[in-house]
């Protein structure tokens, strides 16, 4: 097999490692409920938090093994060539466009399971832990594994969406497919998949151009804030 062919094998390898992280985190996330509760009900916040933390730990362990103890190549560095305002505006534009595109579609049925979280549960579990650790997995592990293919991809004007960026975005969006079987409305679920793919492209682009996970994490946090804020705004305006 040629060197070029072996390099392209990094795409399925990235997905495989991402699935390994997911597969380990799933069973572990149910342990706190089994240990702390005698009934069948599961605390969604606690299980989600455990899932995210386990994903992050497993991903970092894999990175340490692959990187022989060096995490800098996986984005654990300050990085350069990015501006907060630029990241914030691009993420806002993407979230607004997707929200407006899905306004004509009715959204009956139960809300996202996180709708019942308290404000501090949302702050810790969604805005901080999930935003950080999902980026560690998608942009830190998966995208970095595919990084040797960064010279391949889609070139639209000055915009370069490389194979690593596209791979990380597809994986990140696929991470949210389980929401469709967790009591969320189908249309809302599809909107989340589109939103996470768009966010994946943005976070992946800044991860690649800066060499750091920091702008990717910030983009993720902002997307969650904008998503919740736009939902409240549209609800207050009686739109959608």
DSSP H helices, 37-81, are 44-66
Whether 33 has a pLDDT exceeding 80, the answer reads no
Whether 108 has a pLDDT exceeding 60, the answer reads no
What's the pLDDT at 48? Answer: 87
What's the pLDDT at 43? Answer: 73
Reported as a pLDDT band with limits 50, 70 and 90, residue 78 is very high
Mean residue pLDDT across the chain: 88
Beta bridge partners of 161: 154
CA distances 82 to 31, 131, 223, Å, are 40, 18, 17
Residue 141 to residue 133: CA distance in whole angstroms: 11
Parse the chain into domains and list their residue ranges: 3-237
Residue 118 to residue 115: CA distance in whole angstroms: 8
What's the pLDDT at 235? Answer: 65
Residues 6 or more apart whose CB falls under 8 angstroms from that of 164 comprise 143, 144, 146, 147, 149, 150, 153, 204, 208
What's the pLDDT at 111? Answer: 55
Percent of the chain with pLDDT over 90: 65
What's the pLDDT at 129? Answer: 97
Reported as a pLDDT band with limits 50, 70 and 90, residue 180 is confident
CA distances 118 to 70, 94, 115, 187, Å, are 38, 27, 8, 24
What's the pLDDT at 118? Answer: 86
Residue 162 to residue 143: CA distance in whole angstroms: 10
Contact 187, 87 (CB under 8 A): no
Whether 187 has a pLDDT exceeding 60, the answer reads yes
What's the pLDDT at 212? Answer: 97
Whether 40 has a pLDDT exceeding 60, the answer reads no
What's the pLDDT at 38? Answer: 46
What's the pLDDT at 117? Answer: 83
Whether 238 has a pLDDT exceeding 90, the answer reads no
- Angle of the 214-237 helix axis to the 84-101 helix axis, nearest 10: 40
Contact 113, 32 (CB under 8 A): no
Contact 53, 133 (CB under 8 A): yes
Single pTM value for the model:
0.92
Whether 101 has a pLDDT exceeding 90, the answer reads yes
């Amino acid at each position: 097999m040629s060197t070029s062919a072996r390099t392209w094998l990094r795409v399925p390898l990235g997905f495989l490692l991402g699935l390994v992280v997911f597969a380990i985190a799933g069973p572990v996330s149910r342990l706190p409920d089994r240990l702390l509760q005698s009934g069948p009900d599961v605390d969604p916040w606690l299980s989600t938090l455990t899932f995210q933390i386990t994903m992050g730990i497993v991903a970092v362990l894999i990175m340490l093994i692959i990187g022989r103890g060096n995490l800098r190549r996986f984005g654990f560095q300050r990085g350069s060539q990015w501006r907060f305002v630029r990241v914030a505006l691009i993420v806002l534009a993407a979230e607004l466009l997707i929200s407006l595109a899905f306004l004509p579609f009715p959204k009956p049925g139960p809300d996202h399971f996180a709708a019942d979280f308290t404000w501090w549960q949302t702050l810790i579990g969604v805005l901080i832990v999930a935003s950080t650790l999902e980026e560690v997995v998608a942009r830190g592990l998966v995208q970095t594994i595919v990084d040797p293919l960064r010279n391949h991809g889609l070139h639209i004007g000055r915009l370069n969406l490389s194979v690593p960026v596209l791979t990380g975005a597809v994986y990140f969006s696929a991470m949210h497919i389980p929401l469709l079987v967790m009591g969320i409305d189908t249309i809302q679920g599809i909107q989340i998949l589109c939103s996470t793919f768009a966010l994946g492209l943005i976070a992946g682009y800044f991860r690649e151009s800066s060499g750091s996970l920091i702008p990717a994490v910030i983009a993720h946090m902002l997307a969650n804030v904008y998503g919740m804020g736009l939902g409240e705004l549209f609800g207050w305006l009686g739109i959608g």
